[in-house]
């Protein structure tokens, strides 16, 4: 074999060794990548399970630690549908619990930005619980409120409310008993609290959820 042919063969063998070595290195990298990915998936799954377990338990503090006031009631005065942006009579509670409202209610859920009061009053009319919270409230409190919404996603609206006073948030409902006269608009109900207590919220739900002028939302049975 000529020296030139031998050198060519050696270069070819060297190139094959280089390619094989590169393939081995790539396989090692792939194994490491797959291992890290599997670890990340396992960690995320564990966190999700842990979060679900936490969510399954009561949210917030005990009732006597929530700093809640008494439940207040006001006579509902109107149930008129109005156009978006239309002027209307002043509401008789703050936050509002009844009165003129837009034709379309809000989707249930947690809203960090304020919804129009005229929109969520329609949610109250349908028997849902509306939670109005101070946008400047601690993030932990907002997280607890969002967890409460997640526990009853079809029956709760939580919305920031710039005009809130005295408490960090209010629970509200629009109540009308079956034996009330047809011409009655029912009763607006509100309760202010400084801290979230699922015990307080569940008690409020039992009394008022789904017991409204247009009870589309079923009563709470928890």
How is residue 82 written in tokens? 């109005």
39 has a pLDDT exceeding 50? no
Assess contact for 154 and 138: CB atoms under 8 A: no
pLDDT of residue 26: 73
What pLDDT is recorded for position 54? 42
Mean pLDDT of 125-137: 98
Average pLDDT of every residue of the chain: 87
Q: What percent of the chain has pLDDT over 90?
A: 73
Average pLDDT on 174-201 reads 96
Between residues 24 and 68, the one the model is more confident about: 68
More reliable by pLDDT, 218 or 44: 218
Q: Which band of pLDDT confidence, cut at 50, 70 and 90, is reported for residue 56?
A: low
User: To the nearest whole percent, how much of the chain has pLDDT over 70?
Assistant: 81
pLDDT at 41 over 60: no
Give me the pLDDT at residue 217, please. 97
Whether 186 has a pLDDT exceeding 70, the answer reads yes
Question: Mean pLDDT over residues 36-47, rounded?
Answer: 38
Rg of the chain over Cα atoms, rounded to whole angstroms, equals: 30
pLDDT value of residue 29: 64
Condensed to tens digits (0 to 9), the pLDDT of residues 112-122 reads: 999 999 999 99
Could you tell me the end-to-end alpha-carbon distance of the chain, in angstroms, rounded to an integer?
91
Q: Please state which of the ranges 11-20, 21-30, 76-85, 128-137 shows the lowest mean pLDDT.
A: 21-30
Q: Mean pLDDT, to the nearest integer, of 32-44?
A: 42
Residue 202 pLDDT exceeds 80: yes
Q: So what's the pLDDT on residue 3? A: 63
CA 110-91-174 angle, 5° bins? 55
pLDDT at 159: 98
């Amino acid at each position: 074999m000529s020296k030139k042919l031998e050198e060519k063969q050696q270069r070819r063998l060297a190139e094959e060794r280089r390619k094989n070595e590169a393939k081995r290195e790539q396989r090692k990298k792939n194994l490491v990548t797959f291992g890290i990915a599997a670890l990340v998936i396992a960690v995320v799954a564990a966190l999700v399970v842990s979060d679900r377990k936490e969510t399954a338990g009561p949210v917030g503090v005990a009732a006597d630690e929530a700093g809640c006031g008494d439940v207040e009631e006001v006579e509902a005065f109107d149930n008129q549908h109005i156009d978006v942006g239309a002027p209307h009579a002043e509401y008789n509670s703050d936050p509002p619990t009844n009165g003129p409202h837009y034709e379309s209610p809000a989707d249930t859920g947690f809203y960090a930005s304020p919804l129009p009061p005229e929109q969520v009053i329609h949610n109250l009319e349908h028997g849902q619980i509306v939670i109005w919270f101070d946008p400047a409230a601690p993030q932990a409190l907002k997280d607890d409120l969002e967890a409460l919404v997640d526990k009853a996603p079809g029956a709760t609206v939580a919305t920031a409310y710039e005009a809130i006073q005295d408490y960090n948030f209010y629970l509200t409902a629009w109540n009308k008993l079956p034996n009330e006269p047809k011409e009655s608009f029912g009763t607006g109900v509100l309760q202010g609290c400084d801290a979230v207590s699922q015990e307080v919220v569940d008690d409020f739900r039992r009394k008022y959820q789904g017991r409204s002028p247009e009870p589309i939302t079923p009563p709470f049975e928890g």
